[in-house]
Structure 1
Amino acid sequence: MANHGCKFPIEIQPENHEQIVFAQKIANQIHPSIVIPSTQQLSTTALTLLVGFQGITLYSPYLKASIKVDFLNGIIGYRCRHSSNKELIARAVKLKNIKNPRVLDITAGLGKDGFILASLGYQVSMVEKSPIVHLLLEDGLTRANQIPELSEITCRIFNIYKDSIDYMHHMDKQDYPEIIYVDPMFPERSKSALVKKEMQLLQDLVGVDQNDPLLLEVALEYAQKRVVVKRPRLAPPIKGPSPGFTLQGKSIRFDIYLI
């Protein structure tokens, strides 16, 4: 992890003395110049990675918002406990007559959709190019793996730190997935102020200048059966070939491209 890739300064704050070595290891992985303060006082100007026994949290002082990947509690935990093959995302990726299809999620983010797919039995590889987002996702998966009811899901997940296009170009042919899943970042439509702040914080980390048409073009080259693209319900499709069909929900839809 050569560069943290964020336009804001970042500090790492260990929860206590016992976490200093771990915090330093994280700093070396993300960027050697990241500061580890000698005081427990949180910075008022820098994004802060809080490192503790209960996991890693990213805190933004200017948004007064934080991100922590938690697959047991909250919305994602609820969705995993109540997920079914009737969900829109499950219908979008469903293939007939293929046992244990492989899904390559090339816009992993915080891993919510990838984890849902793994909970439905899919083998999921999640690719993320932001070292900090990858770190938060890896932390969430590590903690989930320690919980018996979730470990049978995490064993189907591979978390990969790499640029998605570069990763696809270097896959061996036998590793081409049946399904490639694309979730380009778009503005969160939730009325919740907290959700909007979390989305803003994520955008500050990874940016919003992703070349979606190129991402779709490369995905279509390497998917064996279909490419599934998540979009806002009223947004136009990504520039390029027309999807084979779409599935619409209340606020989102899935554009499905058949190979």
Structure 2
Amino acid sequence: MKRVAAVLRVDFVEGSVAHRLRFGGGRGQDLAKAMGLRAGKTPTIIDATAGLGRDAFLLASLGAQVTLIERSEEMHRLLAQGMERAEREGGQFREIIGRMTLLKGDAKDLIPELSGEAILVDPMHPERKNSALVKQDLRQVRDIVGSDEDAGDLVRLAIKHARKRVVLKWPAKADPIEGVQKCTHQIRGKTTRYDVFMIG
């Protein structure tokens, strides 16, 4: 019997996002460190490639004001629905969503008009040799948004406009994006690395 793919939805209240919220390790997490969240420092953040909104939600849960940018009409709709559901949940969820602002459009057009201390760029990652390793929801996102051929342009533009830092979230073993300057430093996890470009 053929398995029907689950309908993609953005869920901040249950599943992996809620688990990470409860047990994730706060500001000690690689993403938080890469973005510059530390004791007494909470930068304003632009998430230039919002996708499922998980990183933005985590950063907002740690106190950051996060502007999410999503250019895909379909992903933007799913994000808006997910944020509405979390807001209706009330309590801690409403408080976190209150620090998230969702914009629809191309980050390359919007970033010059925004003022972010730190910009996160998490483009679609190169296809893995073994596609079975890629979680179903991420495969579904790829089907919706495509492969982000302009990732290099976006990173370069972000470096031009961020006030303090740009962070590229990229597979741990993948080559650097062609045409992008060498990063200042990296934070490496098992499967993901954060290339940090400090400004000024």
Show the 5 A alignment for 1:153-168.
153-168=96-111
Identity among equivalent pairs (%): 39
Indicate the SS of the match to 1:127.
Answer: strand
More strand by share: 1
Distance 1:221 1:126, change over 3 A: same
Matched to 1:81, the amino acid is R
Map of 1:72 onto structure 2: 13
1:220 alignment partner in structure 2: 159
Structure 2 unpaired stretches of 5+: none
Whether contact under 8 Å (1:63, 1:197) holds in the other structure is no
Compared CA separation, residues 139 and 194, structure 1 to 2 (3 A)? farther
**Higher helix content, 1 or 2:** 2
- With over 3 angstroms needed to count, the CA separation of the structure-2 counterparts of 1:75 and 1:187, relative to structure 1, is farther
Q: Distance in 2 between matches of 1:217 and 1:149?
A: 36
**Contact 1:76–1:112 (CA under 8 A) maintained in structure 2:** yes
1:202, distance to aligned residue in structure 2 (A): 1.1
**Distance apart, 1:65 and its partner CA:** 3.1
CA distance in 1, matches of 2:117, 2:39: 12
The letter for the 1-side match of 2:197 is Y
8 Å Cα contact 1:125-1:157 kept in structure 2: yes
Which letter does structure 1 place at the counterpart of 2:46?
L
Q: What is the deviation of 1:108? A: 0.3
- What is aligned with 1:52? none
Contact 2:36-2:42 within 8 A present in 1 as well: no
- 4+ residue segments displaced more than 4 Å: 95-99, 191-195
Q: Deviations over 1:13-67 (max 9, x none)?
A: xxxxxxxxxxxxxxxxxxxxxxxxxxxxxxxxxxxxxxxxxxxxxxxx9962321
Deviation of 1:198 (Å): 2.0
Instruction: Could you tell me which runs of 5 or more consecutive residues in structure 1 were left unpaired when the two chains were aligned.
Output: 1-60
**Coordinate RMSD, CA, aligned:** 2.4
Aligned with 1:141: secondary structure?
helix
TM-score (norm 1): 0.69
TM-score (norm 2): 0.89
Structure with more relative contact order (C-alpha pairs < 8 Å, separation 6 or more): 2
1:53-103 Cα offsets, whole Å, 9 max, x none, are xxxxxxxx9962321111111011111122311101011011568754210
- The partner residue of 1:253 within 193, 196, 200 is 193
Distance 1:207 1:75 in 2: 24
Match for 1:129: what amino acid?
R
1:125 is paired with a residue of what secondary structure? strand
